[in-house]
């Protein structure tokens, strides 16, 4: 048992799984989902891409929602080609359907993925063509770096993310009522939604330790005024648990 009492902000289903892992380790958590997922309509263009996956030398899946929605459109058989994911959790969704996936063992971010020897090898062929499966919008770093290495890149956007509707002041109320002493976000957009929901209360919220999945999100949070940012170097339950065990519980 520890004295950490943290707020989880992932989509509801993912927060439930994370809360169970934290509970097993004696850590109290409360869930306030700051990301909701809405699949985009399936279009003939989407279907055409999935029917012609063989034209790509690599497919990169950036999130669990992208993996789940892609699996719904894949037929019983698909071409044998290199699949990649940004992190272990996304890889597991695909692995559960017998797709072999390469992913970085250290860090759940684009930077770690770009260092994978398997990805470098996949795009070393002439006329390398890469498909990125993702949500609407998002970072361009991955595509930019791949293009710098000579690959052409296509995006296929499968869903959009949005901030659920909450009453004003709900974030600070939850923190106070449940005596929370830490916040957890799993992505850059999750952090932006945290800041949006905090509104004018952000200076107070920013005083709490904030656990983030990557150096990029850590940099965003610090630039926005978060006073104690902890980079978990991953979005998994194991990465969060390690960070929580290593950090002193604040005295509030």
Domains of the chain and any CATH numbers: 5-34+166-246 (3.40.50.10090), 38-161 (3.40.50.10090)
Q: Note the pLDDT tens digit of each residue in 53-104.
A: 989 999 999 988 999 999 988 865 566 789 999 888 889 999 998 899 999 8
Q: What does pTM read for this prediction?
A: 0.82
Q: Tell me which of 199 and 88 has the higher pLDDT.
A: 199
Residue 147: pLDDT band with limits 50, 70, 90: very high
Q: Is the pLDDT of residue 198 over 90?
A: yes
Q: For all residues of the chain together, what is the average pLDDT? A: 91
- Report residue 219 as tokens: 């940099």
Q: Note the pLDDT tens digit of each residue in 121-133.
A: 999 988 999 999 9
Quick one: pLDDT at residue 233?
86
Is residue 211 within 8 A of residue 6, CB to CB? The reply is yes
Quick one: pLDDT at residue 87?
83
Strands across the sheet containing 28-31: 28-31, 5-8, 182-184, 210-212, 229-231
Quick one: pLDDT at residue 79?
64
- Report residue 206 as tokens: 């920013």
Is residue 232 within 8 A of residue 213, CB to CB? The reply is yes
């Amino acid at each position: 048992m520890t004295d950490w009492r943290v707020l989880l902000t992932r989509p509801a289903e993912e927060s439930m799984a994370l809360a169970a892992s934290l509970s097993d380790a004696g850590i109290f958590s409360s869930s306030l989902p700051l990301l909701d997922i809405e699949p985009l309509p399936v279009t003939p263009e989407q279907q055409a891409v999935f029917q012609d996956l063989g034209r790509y030398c690599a497919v990169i899946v950036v999130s669990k929602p992208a993996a789940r929605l892609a699996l719904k459109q894949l037929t019983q058989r698909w071409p044998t080609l290199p699949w990649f994911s940004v992190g272990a959790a996304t890889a597991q969704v695909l692995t559960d359907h017998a797709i072999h996936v390469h992913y970085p063992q250290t860090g759940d971010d684009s930077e770690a993925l770009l260092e994978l020897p398997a990805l470098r090898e996949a795009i070393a062929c002439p006329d390398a063509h890469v498909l990125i499966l993702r949500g609407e919008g998002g970072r361009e770093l991955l595509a930019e770096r791949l293009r710098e290495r000579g690959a052409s890149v296509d995006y296929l956007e499968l869903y959009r993310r949005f901030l659920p509707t909450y009453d004003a002041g709900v974030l600070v109320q939850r923190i106070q009522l449940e005596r929370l002493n830490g916040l957890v976000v799993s992505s850059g957009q999750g952090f932006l939604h945290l800041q949006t929901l905090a509104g004018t209360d952000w200076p107070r919220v920013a005083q709490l330790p904030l656990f983030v999945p990557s150096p990029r999100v850590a940099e965003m949070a610090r630039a926005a005024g978060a006073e104690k940012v902890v980079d978990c170097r991953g979005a998994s339950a194991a990465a969060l648990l390690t960070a929580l065990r290593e950090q002193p519980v604040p005295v509030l």
